[in-house]
Amino acid sequence: MIKPGRLSYIVAAELLVLLMALRCQAQSLWDLANDNKELLKIATLFTAQNVRDYLSSEEGINKAIDWCKKTGVTHVFIETFRNGYTAERRVLEHAKSKFNAEGFEVSGCVTTTRIAKISTGWNVISCYTNKYTQNQLQKIFEYTASIFDEIMIDDFLFTDCQCDECKKVRGDKTWAEYRCDLMTEMSRERILGPAKVVNPGVKIIIKYPQWYDNFHNRGYEVLRQTADYDRIWVGTETRDYNDKRWGGKVQYEAYYIMRWLGEIGGPKTGGGWFDPLGTTEDTYVEQARQTVLADAKEMLLFCYGALLRDTGPANVEKLRAEIPGLFKLARLVRSKPVQGILSPKPPNSDADGEQYVFDFVGMLGLPLVPTAKIDAGTKAAFFSVHAVADPKFTDKLKKMLDAQNPVLVTDGLAKRLSHISFEGKNPTILRLNGSPRNLLKLSREELELIRDRMLEPFGIKFDAPNKVALYLIGKNCLIVENFNDEPINASLEFSNPVAKAETVLVLPPEAHLDFSCKNGRLEFTEMTPRTLVAVAYYLAELVDYEIRG
């Protein structure tokens, strides 16, 4: 029997433990993030307006530092310019030294919006043919380089201007050619050159937007600019497919573009950047998972101000709970080659009605290998109209069909190739019926036929509803992610015997599924909505080999 006095003692002791645990939790995310920052760094941005509104007072800076530590943020980007507003040197320098003193890595940022002459297109974009705009652009980067040793350029370094001045200078070039040449010149002559005169050690990052199918049309040139800049970053803000204002992007896009640019950038590739606009807690953290799954070394949470309002606080709370798992995910994928269906988008290729088709194909449970190059020696491939930008495409396609490797082509590409004879060895046709979005309507049975054909060379069969993605990481890890709002059942069968398979990570932490492995067949039963599961498996032959070896 417990006496009343003893009971209150127990209650008090429990309360104390609870309080200590809560305190530890806040501290431990900061410690955990510092312990893991070489693997995956978490960053945030203070826009120029955030600098003015939140970093101008000691109280504001202290609050921001506290928020960052609680969120596992160890790297802050402090912006000097955005939307025609320049943050004050005194405020920038003070904030920089305060964050440095607290153990943060600190970089600068510039958003090239509303500079001098405004474009005839979008009213935040500038006309870079104009000399006054060019001079102002240069001044912004000279100013920023005088304060920071690393500068990120947010994804507005493009133009859609068609004013008379632009038309005249463009001459015979297409708009895409003119803009790519113009923005490459701006980067060299007005950004990189002048910034390095002011600060010879400065590293400048070009952050590419997430709209990869339109880059070249507005002057982003992933080959020349990646070669010119010190580092590249990637926009991975897919937000919520169903959101009226911000929607239309499927989650797989973040994965596709991060891997695609990761290959182009190689060691220059830094992180992925996403935001809370038009998201729910679930779709917000899915952006983080896709960014990390695609082997990003860093993830940036745009931006401090936006994360304090609307859906921001709830998103951040959900993300904080998932950060320990995201570090595990980063460890599972780091530098491991992905296996699967080669899915090339040659740089500067036109989508021609098949915009972002790769993102939708990834939602079908087909494990893709995003790439800019077409390698005819691959085991399986998916081709869209983008592929015709490779001058040797038809030869490569014939070679693959001759080798009897499975090839999936869009109906749009098939139409373009209709004049070519493949001598009975025909590719499988993926019917978009006018829009890649229609792929999300394919039934489980329709998907099974496509998957069985395409996954044969990998010795697996995958069965799942639409909007369940599959990733094959390295030699013995696979990841299944359910993007549906309903629980699902899925299975994966190996043609080779499997000695052992076990789940090694489930996200979010509160998610659930029943997992079993019998006779080479993995069953994922009652997998909760919006859930990612990673499985480590060992094929029997490999285990034998390892024992013998």
Q: Which residues bind Zn ion (CB under 5 A)?
A: 127, 129, 161, 163, 165-166
Bridge partners, 514 (sequence order): 525
Backbone φ and ψ of 55, nearest 5°: -115, 15
Q: Which of 465, 458, 467 is nearest to 537 (CA)?
A: 458
Nearer Cβ to Zn ion (161/316): 161
Nearer Cβ to Zn ion (127/351): 127
Shortest distance, position 133 Cβ to Zn ion, whole Å: 9
Shortest distance, position 189 Cβ to Zn ion, whole Å: 17
Residue 463 region, left (φ>0) first, then alpha (ψ -120 to 50), else beta? Answer: beta
* Residue 486, Cβ density class (10 Å: 0-12 exposed, 13-18 middle, ≥19 buried): exposed
Query: What is the C-alpha separation between 418 and 188, in angstroms, rounded?
Result: 43
Nearer Cβ to Zn ion (62/135): 135
Shortest distance, position 160 Cβ to Zn ion, whole Å: 9
Query: What is the C-alpha separation between 212 and 265, in angstroms, rounded?
Result: 14
Bridge partners, 256 (sequence order): none
Task: Pull the structure tokens for residue 32.
Answer: 């955990």
Nearer Cβ to Zn ion (125/258): 125
Bridge partners, 381 (sequence order): 342, 407
Q: Which of 139, 118, 136 is nearest to 127 (CA)?
A: 118
Nearer Cβ to Zn ion (169/223): 169
Nearer Cβ to Zn ion (190/386): 190
Nearer Cβ to Zn ion (131/373): 131
Shortest distance, position 117 Cβ to Zn ion, whole Å: 7
Shortest distance, position 450 Cβ to Zn ion, whole Å: 46
Shortest distance, position 124 Cβ to Zn ion, whole Å: 14
> Side chain identity at 264, as an amino acid letter?
I
Residue 194 region, left (φ>0) first, then alpha (ψ -120 to 50), else beta? Answer: alpha
Shortest distance, position 367 Cβ to Zn ion, whole Å: 44
Query: What is the C-alpha separation between 92 and 224, in angstroms, rounded?
Result: 32
